[in-house]
Structure 1
Amino acid sequence: MKHFPLILSISLAIPFSGVAQNDVTKLDPVVVTSVRSQDPLIVSTDAKAPVQPVPAHDGADVLKNIPGFSVIRKGGTDGDPVLRGMAGSRLSILVEGETVLGGCFMRMDPPTAYIFPEAYDRITIIKGPQSVRYGPISSAGLVRFERDFVRRDDTGATMFSTVTAGSFGRLDGALDLRGGNSSFQGRIAATYSEMGDYSDGDDQTVHSSYQRWSTNASLAWTPNDDIFIEITGAVSDGEAAYADRMMDGALFDRNNIGLRMRRSNISDLVQEIEFQAYANAVDHVMDNYSLRTFRPTMMMPGKTVSNPDRLTTGARLALSLMPVEKLRLDTGIDYQGNRHRVRATMNQDTMPYENKARVEDVSFDQIGAFAEAAYTINDHTRFYAGARIDQWTAQDKRAAISLGMMGGSSANPTANLKRESTLPGAFARVEHDISKGSTVYLGVGHTQRFPDYWELVSSESTTSPSAFHTAPEKTTQVDLGWLYRNDALELTASVFASGINDFILIQNSFPKSSIMMGGMMSTRMATVARNIDAKTIGGEFGLGYRFTEAFRIDASLSTVRGDNTRDDRPLAQMPPLEGRIGFTYTRSSWSVGALWHGVVAQDRVAINQGNIVGQDIGPSPAYDTVSLNASWAPTSYLRFSIGIDNLFDRTYAAHISRAGAAVAGFTQTTRVNEPGRFSWIKFDYRF
């Protein structure tokens, strides 16, 4: 029954008779190749639109067409998103306001691994530390995967279904069905995706197969236009092969339950009150035999399994106030807590992991208060500002610390230690319309980030086997930009500069002394977290020009430069200069398009340094690719799209992609290479 969501979506992707279709959004016959800001520092895109290059069906790859984003590739799916050179918890990922945290010690399952984009309606990005309403401020920005809700005024149903097939055995399906009346609305969304091992441009097979599925359901009660109460739930699972490590993901189980309540138009002062609570349980299994040929090694002589899990809970209470006519004030409190546990075995045959008890290693709790104001100064000028304060508590529950596969273990010097931090954050931004369609803006933000699980637990410090004393990271950033739009031309320009005190750097191959059997001293290489000072500067630039009603060109450019000012060397894991040029010719029911994507060489590296996801492994060469697409919408509710990605079958890898590992039966590469030529067809239907 593993193909049930796909079979269901195919069976329903046919015209239904007798269903009203007057109020359904029409399908646009255009394949998305780039996304630009429509508002200062805010980008929004349709999560269900066909995209080129075709992304993996996860929450990271779908972001790559947005200027400023990159992805750290590990295999066929579950990459880590990077915005303006920042990854991990420097970039917040929210699913309808909820936090989902993975369990893997080595980031096999980042939050985006549990996100299935076509189950959502909209993806919204806020770049930089420019909002305080959505939990602790992240220095890089915020990504929100959201579903739209509109109260019905009649009884009826709507549906969106899609099927995608492509090279390397790629097969995706999604169904989003919703219906009800003015008082009750229900929704169910199911997705399925699978792909075999892909080949790069040299026809070398990459260990990268995956299979993923999800089901989301919700039931809302709306007795009138001002009351909204919704219960939500989700389950998902999958498996994925990884080309960058010695183990694969055999289980990505997520279970979710949530509650949302909203009351609007309470009084002239109180515009809205909103409450949300949720729980996300993630159970992850990684091993060295389920998805690859088992070969005993010195580090893993037996069938090895690690089974971490994490329970993340959260709540939020917010008020929207209108103290005066031109001032809106959003204020509230929020909470998030998570508990991480793990169990493992070095020999699944004789000591199955299922028979072992789970052991909690660390817990986190955060409670915060925020206030954010939007003030209209006059018809041309707007001012936004906000502040929040967060109280963090973390407890180290590890009795011992592993010193690597061959390093044995050490007593934990921070066992049972509880640390607390009170961390403030704030921002201010002014926007001014200098003429019709032309807006300039200036924003300043400051945030203090508590170290995450991977920085505190997955690494050592330079002087101790525990990194639990790592200091919070403090970022101050300035954003400056311009947006221009008329009937034919769209221009966007955004530049930023940040200063980061106590930047948390992850460094591999750090020499540390150890005592061998017999009392002899030796040197081992460790992965450590250490605080440095850093600065970054960069920007994103976009252009869209319509030569005629049918012919359009889109172009974008993004760049970032980082410096480790403590060590006087480049800041690691900085993506190189990247550009895109797309051409689209559109008629009423069809379109054709082409996309050129180019990346320059990167030689500003800091080998063995980086972040919780990856470290620099050396310089990388320039590359470019060309992709083609076409789309036909014979009716307003039916769309066919086809395309070829990497038309000339180039062999290349992104600079920040992970190093290739030695996997039995596969050729090891310097970095995990991107797929070679990829052909695809996509079918969408909605009523």
Structure 2
Amino acid sequence: MGLISPWALATDDKPGQTLPPIVVTATMQDSPLTVITDPKAPRQPVPASDGADFLKSIPGFAVIRKGGSNGDPLLRGMAGSRLNILIDGGQIGGGCPSRMDPPTAYISPSLFDKVTIIKGPQTVLYGPGNSAGTILFEREFSRYAQPAWSFNGSVLGGSWGRNDQQFDLHAGTPDVYLAVSGNHTQSQDYEDGDGRRVHSSYDRWNTDITLGWTPNDDTRLELTVGKGDGQAAYAFSGMDGAKFLRESVALKFEQRHLTPVFDKLEAQVYYNYANHVMDNYTLRRPDPDSMMPMAMASDLDRKTVGGRVAATCLWGNAWQWVVGADASSNVHTGRNGGPPGNRMYYGDQPRVRDARIGSVGLFEELRWTMAQHQRLISGLRVDRAQARGYGLAMASMTDSMGGMNHGMGMPAPRTVDASRAAVLPSGFVRYEQDLSGTPATFYAGIGHVQRFPDYWELVGQHATKSQAAFSALKPEKTTQLDIGLQYDDQQLKAWVSAYYGVVSNFIMLNYGQGMMARSYASNINARIAGGEAGASYAFSKRWQGDATLAYAWGENRSQHRPLPQQPPLELRLGLTYDTGNWSAGALWRLASAQHRYALGQGNIIGQDLGPTNGFGVFALNAGYRLSEHLTLSAGIDNVFNKTYAEHVNAANAELAGYVNTVRVNEPGRTAWAKLQLKL
């Protein structure tokens, strides 16, 4: 769990290795609070177009749908910077002040070898603020024993013009290796179960190149550069995403087995740039009856630089200690204007900086094998976080009296820059016990995380953007108990995990209602609870069933009402028949009604829109191994063409010519097929 070397698994596949024809319908928890899954494997619903699309197939996750792509993920009802999302160890932040481009919008899962999810505040190794969990999108490389190469590629086609192409080429010698990967994914507008069109088309591509040097078995120096871009139509917004430019550079160094005690040294620096353009004319026509009757555009960008250094020490078989430091800093700018050819073309306008946010942290994580079947894992972390806001409205008397002017719609006549900083401690301790005589592990852990307010909470679209609000919003403090049981034998794999947390200064967004109302962020006290469970049982060599259950609950203790943005109870039932050469399967997903909501309240990714009814959707899939290296998989999602929408959702923007329900409806019956080649 974060202590395993990234060299542990290889990507230079051995001759004769074949692809399984199984379509993934349920992802199981691999070890206490940890899920590890293969993002290249075919899965149902239709294989993912971005990071959030991928995560929604994992129990405990939900995604706010905004269109066909670029949704925003939640884990256990928590979203935004409560989820620490890293790509190859680096952070990337979106540009849109209203989260049109969350970090997952810049992630193509099929370009990575492994995705690891660590639930709750149960690690301190990967940066600050991970109260909900940590998500690692990782690539893996090993030293080649001799010159070799491998290839993994796929093509996918589906309903509404869905077409994907993906490739991953690796080659190397004992001294150097090269990896080139890329993908393209595209879809037209989909239709809901009633055949009504949803504004949801997208077209995106990504490519990454990695060059590595391995002069011996213990040394690795690696450089990765990447770029991507795309467009996405949105049903929830008055604008669409006309540009999602990503530029990434990362340099990593690793040295192992320095001494019998000093086992490993890791160092990394990275640069991630996101440039996002949203407009109302590239993927739609300006609506003369809307709030934006003329062609308009907004160009936002964020530059993130960071680094990390960590050392791993071993004392016999009993102690493993990781100690290190990390830092990151990002600057956000924006500019507005009209389309090309307009005298106010946005590309000719100067960029205006509105925020600079950064942190520096020290961490240590200790693993003590107390006895053969007992382990104690603990960690401590301290961060110094700081932020500077630019062009903030001057504090007024009504601000100091509790924000009475939030709904007045009257901007302050003068602006000012302001800075703030805080020292934030975090830590956890977890006990694991392998139960005698059984392949089962019991665990219990308690963690505490302090999270600094993020860009969207301080100066985003739904923040007050005043000096008083910028300075007054307190860091969030989460203390959470996690407890569970893991069971794994040849026939049955099962797990259950539960949590209970107390959150002081929970940062909640209050969405303004009405034309002149303003949104604002505030601190409340909250309680959260819930859990996940899953089981996979092999009835015979060919038949296997699986089931997962997830539930999240939250209470706003300050106002004695439900905490907003909590997904309902969800159950997934799957059945698979597999002969080794071909497979067939079914997935039945059931979500209960949700009557616990807080109208007009939410987080940085959305607000509660009212109660929702329960629903059930059924899906079928099949796979066939055409040859040793070629596999065909296919599926039909929402077989019965049900019209439904998720409870955690975005409000429809009421676009002319499209369906205008309260929430953005999910796709109707969707067919897809994927051909995968692995050499």
Q: TM-score range by the shorter chain?
A: over 0.9
- Counterpart of 2:112 (choices 93, 107, 120) is 120
Give the match for residue 390 of structure 1: 383
Contact 2:20 2:580 in 1 (8 A): no
TM-score normalized with structure 2 length: 0.94
Superposition map of 1:20-39 within 5 A = 22-23=14-15, 25-39=17-31
Deviation string, structure 1 residues 400-444 (Cα, Å, up to 9, x no partner): 59x99994743466x221101000000000100113311100010
Output one character per residue of 1:314-365: Cα deviation in whole Å (capped at 9) or x when no partner: 0001100114541000000000000000001267633100110001111011
Aligned pair partner of 2:32 in 32, 40, 57 = 40
One-letter identity of the residue aligned with 1:497: Y
Q: Does 1:359 align with 2:352?
A: yes
> How many Å separate the matches in 2 of 1:646 and 1:281?
37
Asked if 1 retains the 8 angstrom alpha-carbon contact of 2:393 and 2:466, the reply is: no
CA offsets 1:460-508 (integer angstroms, 9 cap, x no match): 4599774443100000000000011222112211000010000000011
What's the counterpart of residue 451 of structure 2?
449
Residue 377 (structure 1) aligns with: 370
The answer on 1:144 being equivalent to 2:146 is: no
Distance 1:266 1:52, change over 3 A: same
- Find the counterpart in structure 1 of residue 621 from structure 2: 629
**Which residue of structure 1 aligns with residue 435 of structure 2?**
434
Which of 491, 495, 504 is matched with 1:488 structurally?
491
1:331 match: secondary structure: strand
Q: Distance in 2 between matches of 1:153 and 1:277?
A: 28
Q: CA deviation digits over 1:157-200, x for unaligned, max 9?
A: 10000001000000001000010100000000010000000000
Q: Which residue identity does 1:445 align to in structure 2? A: G
Q: Distance in 1 between matches of 2:502 and 2:464?
A: 23
Compared CA separation, residues 654 and 358, structure 1 to 2 (3 A): same
Cα drift, residue 63 of structure 1: 1.1
Q: Which residue of 1 aligns with 2:322?
A: 330
Tell me by how many angstroms 1:666 deviates: 1.0
Superposed CA deviations along residues 19-42 of structure 1, whole A, max 9, x for unmatched, are x97446421110000101110000
Q: Which amino acid aligns with 2:559?
A: D
Report if aligned partners of 1:68, 1:558 keep a CA contact under 8 Å in 2.
yes
Of residues 575, 578, 583, the one that matches 2:567 is 575
Residues 537, 326 of structure 1: CA spacing in aligned structure 2 closer, same or farther, 3 A cutoff? same
**Equivalence map 1:146-295=2 (5 Å):** 146-295=138-287
The aligned counterpart of 2:5 is none
Further displaced range: 212-221 or 432-441: 432-441
| CA distance in structure 1 between the aligned counterparts of 2:623 and 2:639, rounded to whole angstroms | 17
Distance verdict in 2 for CA 1:444–1:219, change over 3 Å: same
User: 1:257-296: per-residue Cα shift (whole Å, max 9, x none)?
Assistant: 1100000000011100010000011111000111012223
Post-superposition, which runs of at least 4 consecutive aligned residues in structure 1 deviate over 3 A?
A: 20-25, 403-409, 459-468
Matched letter for residue 454 of structure 1: W
Aligned match for 1:368, one of 336, 361, 368: 361
Deviates most, 579-588 or 50-59: 50-59
Specify whether residues 419 and 21 from structure 1 end up closer, same or farther in structure 2 by C-alpha distance, changes over 3 A only: closer
- Structure 2 SS opposite 1:455: helix
Question: Amino acid of the residue matched to residue 670 of structure 2?
Answer: F
Matched residues, percent identical? 43
Q: Secondary structure at the match of 1:509?
A: coil
CA deviation digits over 1:65-101, x for unaligned, max 9?
2110111100000001110000000011110101010
Contact 1:461 1:530 (C-alpha < 8 Å) held by counterparts: no
CA RMSD of aligned residues (A): 1.9
AA paired with 2:490?
Answer: D
Q: Please list the CA deviations of residues 220-249 of structure 1 after superposition, one character each: whole Å capped at 9, or x if unmatched.
A: 000000100001000000000000010000
Aligned residue in 1 for 2:478: 475
TM-score normalized with structure 1 length: 0.93
Q: Greater shift after overlay, 63-72 or 328-337?
A: 63-72
Q: Contact 1:279/1:311 (CA < 8 Å) preserved in 2? A: yes
Q: Tell me the secondary structure at the aligned position of residue 628 of structure 1.
A: strand
Letter of the structure 1 residue corresponding to residue 123 of structure 2: S
**1:108 counterpart (100, 115, 132):** 100
Distance in 2 of aligned mates of 1:177 and 1:269:
37
Matches for 1:405-554 after TM superposition, within 5 Å:
407=409, 409-411=411-413, 415-435=416-436, 436-458=438-460, 459-461=462-464, 466-509=469-512, 524-554=516-546
Equivalent in the alignment of 1:655: 647
Q: What SS class does the counterpart of residue 295 from structure 1 fall into? A: coil
Tell me which of 341, 347, 350 is aligned to 2:343.
350
1:673 aligns with 2:673: no
Residue 341 of structure 1: SS of its match in structure 2?
strand
Contact 2:589–2:617 (CA<8 Å) still a contact in 1? yes
Contact 2:235 2:652 (C-alpha < 8 Å) held by counterparts? yes
* Partners of 2:655 and 2:41 in 1: CA distance: 36
Structure 1: gaps of 5 or more residues: 1-19, 512-522
Equivalent pair of 1:76/1:241 in contact (CA under 8 Å): yes
User: Structure 2: which amino acid aligns with 1:326?
Assistant: A
- Tell me, yes or no, if structure 1 residue 339 matches structure 2 residue 339: no
**CA 680–378 in structure 1, closer or farther in 2 if over 3 Å, else same:** same
Tell me, in whole angstroms, the C-alpha distance in 2 between the residues paired with 1:404 and 1:636: 64
Of 319-328 and 138-147, more deviation after overlay is shown by: 319-328
Contact 1:207 1:243 in 2 (8 A): yes
Contact preservation (8 Å) 2:68, 2:234? yes
Alpha-carbon displacement from aligned partner over 1:568-627 (angstroms, at most 9, x marks no partner):
000000000000000000002110000000000001010000100000010011100000
Trace 1:578-589 onto structure 2 (pairs within 5 A): 578-589=570-581
* Cα distance change of structure 1 residues 179 and 463 upon mapping to structure 2, 3 Å threshold: closer
Which of 659, 674, 679 pairs up with 1:682? 674
Larger displacement relative to structure 2 (339-348 or 557-566): 339-348
Query: For 1:72 and 1:350, how far apart are their aligned partners in 2?
Result: 37
Q: Which amino acid aligns with 2:306?
A: G
Secondary structure of 1:410's partner?
Answer: coil
CA distance in 2 between counterparts of 1:462 and 1:284 reads 21
Structure 2's unaligned 5+ residue stretches are 1-11, 395-404
Letter in structure 2 aligned against 1:53: P
SS where residue 354 of structure 1 aligns? helix
Report the secondary structure of 1:320's partner residue: strand
> In the superposition, relative to structure 1, how do residues 369 and 236 fare at CA in structure 2: closer, same or farther (>3 Å)?
same
CA contact (8 A) 1:299 1:405 kept: no
In structure 2, distance between residues paired with 1:392 and 1:488: 48
Structure 2 counterpart SS, 1:113:
helix
Instruction: Name the residue aligned to 1:10.
Output: none
Does the C-alpha gap of structure 1 residues 158 and 405 become closer, same or farther in structure 2, counting only changes over 3 Å? farther
In structure 1, distance between residues paired with 2:220 and 2:16: 22
